[in-house]
Amino acid sequence: MSILLQAAGSNTSMIYNVLLWVGIAGVFYFFIIRPQQKKQKDQKSFVDSLKKGDSVVTIGGLHGRIASVDATTVTLEVDRGIKMTFEKSSISREATGKPTDAEKL
């Protein structure tokens, strides 16, 4: 009789262990993996929608206005007459706040 009780107890313990690992995997997915995938998707759509005249910030922190957009590069006007070319992937975000003198051009 005690052998049957031990077998039933180990099955219950094994079910709880499986449920625990499934719960941990669910937490990782919903709190780590899924938000990261959403952030990457939003960044890709932002980079794909860049157009002339947008004020942006590069990954390095350089602020400027887009002068032209090519297939893989973006030319930023960072000051009057000063243009720099960057890869599209180096554009971090849209610039917000009060426009600078360079952005008023």
The residue ranges of every structural domain in the chain are 1-49, 51-104
7-16, 42-51, 62-71, 79-88: the lowest-pLDDT one: 7-16
CA dist 24 and 11 (Å) reads 20
Please tell me the predicted confidence (pLDDT) of residue 13.
87
The answer to whether 51 and 69 are in contact (CB under 8 A) is: yes
The CATH number of 51-104 is which of 3.30.470.10, 3.20.20.140, 2.30.30.100, 2.30.22.10?
2.30.30.100
pLDDT digits (tens, 9 = 90+) for 52-76: 999 999 999 999 999 999 989 999 9
Select the more confidently predicted residue: 10 or 17: 17
AA identity, residue 29: Y
Alpha-helix runs per DSSP H in 1-105 = 2-28, 34-48
Map residue 57 onto helix, strand or coil.
strand
CA dihedral 8, 12, 13, 18 (to 10 degrees): 140
Mean pLDDT (the chain, rounded): 85
Decide: pTM greater than 0.85.
no
CA dist 50 and 8 (Å) reads 62
